[in-house]
Amino acid sequence: MTNMDKLYDAVAARGPVCVGLDTDLSYLPEGFADTALTAGENIVRFNRAIVDATKAAAGCFKVQIAYYESLGLDGLRAYKQTLDYVKAAGMPVIADVKRGDIAKTAEMYAKAHFAGDFEVDYITLAPYMGLDSIRPYLPYVQQQGKGLFVLVRTSNPGAKDFEYEALADGRHVYDLVGDKLHELGLECPGERGYSSLGLVIGGTHIEEAAEIRARYADSFFLIPGYGAQGGTAADIARYLDKGGNGGVVNSSRSVLLAWKKQPGTPFAEAAYNECVNMKEAIRNACNSL
């Protein structure tokens, strides 16, 4: 089985919620941080509590490396320890690194995140430089079952600066990117009907949702935009298959900061409540389609 097959099974078992451990020190509740510890050590304590609380209601976790890089060596230790904890919990983990270089540099990025200290199951990539920015990762995909999520149509407002530009044949730039990635993904099929080359499809623009899901029926989606970015369960459901699978839906701040909206509730319990509510909302929306 490929890692994408395993992710499909995780979603089937626990739902499509992807908990984003994009943890800033300011997200920790007042009084939680231990002044005898470093910023990174306190973030790891917080992350472990979030993982313990939410793993029963989440399909996977995603760790955005920038939050850890910003703390220097202390942060990179926290990044590794967070990855290790998620993996020890038996949960799929996506490293949100958005690498986008070519040739030997891309080979080194692949080695950095698919082997050694920072090894993960899936990473995110940016394809702007072309398919030769993706191919150096394929040996890990084809030989070890690793998974990729490549940016196609993103959830940020600036997506319309480039991604929505029209081509001469009537497609958008994001269609061109998606079509080429979909074709490349045919080289790495999985047992559950999805290739190991997944697509990042933002959930905040819903006009093309049905077309995108049908066009890339055998591509697994990483869907950002839920919650703090404005995406609703009804929006998100359009990007999943009829059974509510075929993708994972990332939520970071809505989970990590759930304690702010649930006064008196311990932060880890509040995070669990948010995951359950999110999972049920998406399931209900999928059932209503």
Q: What is the DSSP letter of 151?
A: E
25 with 77: CB under 8 angstroms? no
**Residue 232 CB-density burial (10 A; 0-12 exposed, 13-18 middle, 19+ buried):** middle
| Residue 156, number of CB atoms within 10 A of its CB | 13
From 55, 80, 87, 98, active-site residue: 98
Using DSSP, state whether 19 is helix, strand or coil. strand
Please report, as a single letter, which amino acid is at residue 8.
Y
- How many CA within 13 A on the CB side of residue 158? 0
Please report, as a single letter, which amino acid is at residue 113.
H
Interatomic CA distance for residues 264 and 282, integer angstroms: 26
138-151 as b/e: b if 16+ CB within 10 A: bebbeeebbbbbbb
Torsion sign (Cα): 212, 217, 222, 226 = positive
Using DSSP, state whether 111 is helix, strand or coil. helix
Residue in the block written with tokens 């409540």: 273
Structure tokens at 163: 């991604």
Nearest to 188 by CA among 140, 223, 247, 120: 140
Active site residue 260: no
Residues marked as catalytic: 98
